[in-house]
Structure 1
Amino acid sequence: MTETKTTLIEKLLVIKKYFEAMAETLAISQDVFIRTIDETIEFIKDKD
């Protein structure tokens, strides 16, 4: 994986952790958002 992809995945994981930590106060559906991040990470990994 390229450094750019790795950096992007790391940033998405940070965002995911933030949303998981804030889950009780967010008005959006956390499960959908977190699943979208997971799917995005898998998509980035598979693009090699």
Structure 2
Amino acid sequence: MEWRKSSRSGNTSDCVELRQDLAAVRDSKRPGVTLPVTRTAVRELITRLSR
């Protein structure tokens, strides 16, 4: 599975990317550093961002 970023980010590198199979997020400017999160936290983040 690949890292995904919001389509609203356009072609900039100033974004946070998400990878569901790892339940992790990362800063696109520092792709070697990831922040593990729970699947529940990922779902809540997506829900809050889509409001």
Pick the structure with more helix per residue: 1
TM-score normalised to the size of structure 1?
0.39
Structure number with greater Rg is 1
TM-score normalised to the size of structure 2?
0.37
Higher relative contact order, structure no. (Cα contacts within 8 Å, ≥ 6 residues apart): 1
